[in-house]
Structure 1
Amino acid sequence: MEKQPPLQVMVGRDDNIGDKADMVVRVKGTLDQLLDSPAILNMEAEQSSELLSIYKIPFFMTQTHPKAYEPQVVSLGPYNHGKQHLSPMELEKLKLFHSFKTRCLLDVESIVRGVSTILDELMESYDRLEEEWTQDPGKFLQLMIVDGCFMLGFLISCPNSLINVSPDIKQDMLLLENQLPMLLLEKLYSIAGRNVQLPQQDPKKLVCKWLSIPQNEVMKDCLHILEMYKESLLYPPIDRRDWSAELDHSDPECQVIPPATKLHEAGIKFKRSKTESLRDVWFDTKRGVLWLPQLMVDDDTESTMLNVMAFEKLHMKAGRKVTSFVILMSNLIDDERDVAVLAGEKILANAVGNDKEAAGLFSRLGSGAAMGLDSHMAGVHKMVNAHCNQPWNERCATLKHDYFQSPWTIISLCAAIFGFIILILQAIYQFLDYYLKP
């Protein structure tokens, strides 16, 4: 078939000019409508809110850890409200709300009026609220009152009907999607304190007692219970050298280090830090000692750490200190042998079963830690790698790995050394016998 003349091709393009112009107008109109939608117009105000701190877990994170962010017993706040497996606790929440109201000599109207004064601030605390709540603020207000009074009543005195599930409720209270604004708890506590003497001066001290965490000045600025727990992991504050000006964080040596067994073979020792702050990590270059805080690992560790890490990922002002520590530990722990090394130095207190299960836990935590290290942990990684890369330490590591892995290799090496010594002695004896012979 003969090719079409170029002139006809140009004519065909000219015929489409009108269609393209219509398409441009149509797409422009559609984009203008999208940009004028309430979600986009309110986006800047939502992002600038100082109160925004409770987030819906993104889909890509729930896919990696499907059950880690979902409450098992009780829903608190709007994100999990109405889920079928949590419905049995709704009656218990109403009972505890009634008990709290009666104990504090309150009437429903005074509670509603008091909490309604902070309704806008409470709604600003949540990210991506569904229309069910934004279109009916009264329903949201009711939810806040019932759930807030339930939480305070539970913290003040756990009722007998909930004693058996209290550990599960405690775990659910440390989920990011299940947080209630501290502003709500403080308002309800203030209203209740007008008529009766409450056990603590403010709800934050009540939370500290309940979580068995130290009370400190940092807690004053926390926006919810999960953030308080996060700060407790970093207490007391540790002032370590800042390596940020010296380090290229894209350098692999600032991000990855060998597992504990390999470091041990390279001559690095592990010691338990004097505090339990996750920031109390440092490397003594002179003595080759890596200092680490003691960490209790139990059945709740995975879920709690993942929710703290999710908060650090989603909240701009949260930092990434806990995430950096988790990345460090996931680098150090590759299998059960690494767990045994750290447990032997009292750095890991393993309550999840055997060492293999603990190693799997840190592997799963590391798979969700898609965030770079902060300057402090990056500096620790850098110094540890520099120590391992020294020629003498590399030779020692190779020697240990190749010749000290089993008793038979040790016996063979000792036999070879002994035979070599015998040969040297024989040579010396023959030399002396030849030259000193009369």
Structure 2
Amino acid sequence: MEKVKESEAIEIDIPLETSLKKKLQQTPRWETFEPFALSRVPYIIRENNKELYEPKVVSIGPYHRGKESLRAMEEHKPRCLIDFLGRNPEIQIEVYVEEVKKLEARARRCYCETINLNTNEFVEMLLLDGCFILDLFFKVRAREPHTLLDVGWGAKTIIADLLLLENQIPFFVVEKLHAIVTHYEGDRDSLLYLLQPSSVSPDLPAKGNIYHLLHLYYQWFVPGRTSKQRSRRYSGILISTEHSRSNPIVSWLNSRSSRSNKKPYKPMRAIPCATELREAGVIFKRKESPSDVFDITFENGVMEIPMLPIDSIRRIIYMNFAAFERSNSAMEHDLMSYVALMDSLINSNRDVIILQQCGIINNMLLNEEELAVFFNQLGDWSTLDSDKHYFAWLFAEVELYCDSRWHKYRAKLMRDYFNNPWSALSVIAAVILLIFAAVQAVYSMYPYVHH
């Protein structure tokens, strides 16, 4: 008992300011971090949907390292390293270790949490994980046999794991390993070609600093505003989307409202769903733009949207794209703008069916209800500036179109009387009979008028 009391007394005798100073000395300053942070998905989001954010097969980086469910793949990584080293036998493993050690301090600064691994453990993790990624894509590009990929579910599941927000290593580590094995120091294009999926157009290169593999694929999926120099025309007024952040749409709509004694225009946070838009006369069409799902147009009541394929793997990737975009406050929230558009269009199973029938959505999930829930999940915990987002121009055009009574009356006429051949024939017959009746009335009155 006396020994316990002595130890307690010793702990109590340590001044608080001393322990705080020690803790502050061990804490890195903000300016020592890299411009980006490899962060986790917030607990409140991840806890309800762990299957969307946690790896199922392979761990990359420190956050999920050592999990029992991922141990089998850890045994494959040394085999992948052997294959990777065999691509350039002249370079010994000591060269790779030495070069990765030079990147250790910078790589540690990329993570928003303290990584409790010593130098050897941390460098080994970066080397094994980086070589695993490169060896995988080398074999995919060359169509070489791969034990892991030859399993029916292997390729898609591994790719999905590599594109999780919490399952990343800094991209500059991958670049360095690729430069050593290929002797292409500073040649990013060859590395991007290696990592590029077949669905990505070659005229959409990655731009600027690439943080990690997920960021690279995000750039390929979300083209960015600088690549969109299209112009929008509002009743003869030309407005460039490049300058839409200065709100020319809102300014013009407000000037139009003041001339017509209407209430000032307020940016819309949503538009009517697909069912309501169809009732208002909007026609949905699939647009042939396979490499850019953001290439959406709305002209003369016709909304053209490129097809968006959705299956269980893409669902995971899209969710992590959204988590990555929300984790970086400096980024434009263009993906969230797309989500806001699709979430507005889809409110029920009927909306999903309309978009599926038009070829806009290729739904490979369980049912239409699951797809509607998916878009709701994508938009959870996100904020969007309703007058500056990517599709603010489209929201404004849709509102102008739906405000027209003529479009509603025409849509009702087409829906009620011309939705099938028999209804159309009956309307035409009624019009013809009405004309005949009018002509007969005129001729019957003619003798009296002539007299």
Q: TM-score category by the smaller chain?
A: 0.7 to 0.9
| Matching residue within 11, 20, 28 for 1:42 | 28
Structure 1 residue 383 displacement after superposition = 1.6
What does 1:23-172 correspond to in 2, within 5 Å? 37-38=23-24, 42-45=28-31, 49-50=34-35, 52-105=36-89, 106-130=91-115, 132-133=116-117, 136-157=118-139, 159-163=145-149, 164=151, 165-172=154-161
CA distance in 2, matches of 1:349, 1:107: 48
Query: Any conservation in 1 of the 2:288–2:306 contact (CA below 8 Å)?
Result: yes
Write the letter of the residue equivalent to 1:76. I
**Distance in 1 of aligned mates of 2:16 and 2:419:** 72
Contact 1:186 1:202 in 2 (8 A): no
Q: By how many angstroms is 1:427 displaced?
A: 12
Give the AA of the match of 1:238: K
Quick one: which amino acid aligns to residue 150 of structure 1? F
1:245 is the counterpart of 2:246: yes
Alpha-carbon distance between aligned partners in 2 of 1:70 and 1:405, rounded to the nearest angstrom:
52
**CA–CA separation in structure 2 for the residues paired with 1:274 and 1:71:** 34
Out of 343, 351, 358, the residue aligned to residue 338 of structure 1 is 351
Residues 95 and 370 of structure 1, relative CA distance in 2, 3 Å threshold: same
Post-superposition CA distance 1:172-227 (Å, at most 9, x none)? 11111112221011111122235x99x99742221015775536443463222212
The match for 1:230 among 197, 209, 218 is: 218
Query: How far did residue 33 of structure 1 move?
Result: 7.5
Write the distance in 1 (CA, Å) between the matches of 2:96 and 2:148: 24
5+ unaligned residues in a row in structure 2: which ranges? Answer: 1-14, 231-240, 252-263
Which of 259, 281, 286 is residue 296 of structure 2 equivalent to? 281
How far, CA to CA, are the matches of 2:408 and 2:203 in structure 1? 46
Q: CA deviation at 1:231?
A: 1.5
Q: CA deviation at 1:338?
A: 2.0
Rounded Cα–Cα distance in structure 1 between residues aligned with 2:189 and 2:40? 31
2:38 maps to a residue whose letter is I
The Cα offsets for residues 77-131 of structure 1, whole Å up to 9 and x where unpaired, read as 011111121111110112111222234224332211111111122112222234x
What is the identity percentage for the equivalent residue pairs of Structure 1 and Structure 2?
25
Task: Sort the Cα spacing of 1:252 and 1:174 in 2 relative to 1 into closer, same or farther, 3 A.
Answer: farther
Where 2:56 maps in the other structure, the secondary structure is coil
Partner of 1:185 in structure 2? Answer: 174
The 2-side partners of 1:41 and 1:81 are apart by 23
TM-score normalised by L of structure 1 = 0.76
Counterparts of 1:279 and 1:149 in 2: how far apart (Å)? 34
- Alignment size in residue pairs: 400
Residues of 1 paired with 2:390 and 2:375: CA distance? 20
Counterpart in the other structure of 1:23: none
The residue type paired with residue 92 of structure 1 is: H
Mapped contact 1:173–1:179 kept (Cα < 8 A): yes
Mapping 1:255-294, distance limit 5 Å:
255-275=269-289, 276-284=291-299, 287-294=300-307
Equivalent residues of 2:107, 2:170 under 8 A apart: yes
SS of match in other structure, 1:270: strand
Shift in Å at residue 433 of structure 1?
Answer: 11
Task: Provide the alpha-carbon RMSD of the alignment.
Answer: 4.2
Partner SS, residue 277 of structure 1 = coil
Where does residue 393 of structure 1 map in the other structure?
A: 407
TM-score when normalising by structure 2: 0.74
Q: What is the distance in 2 between the residues matched to 1:266 and 1:39?
A: 65
- Give the distance between the partners of 1:325 and 1:104, measured in 2 at CA: 44
Partner of 1:206, secondary structure, is helix
Asked whether the 8 Å contact 1:35–1:41 carries over to 2, the reply is no
Q: CA deviation at 1:146?
A: 1.0
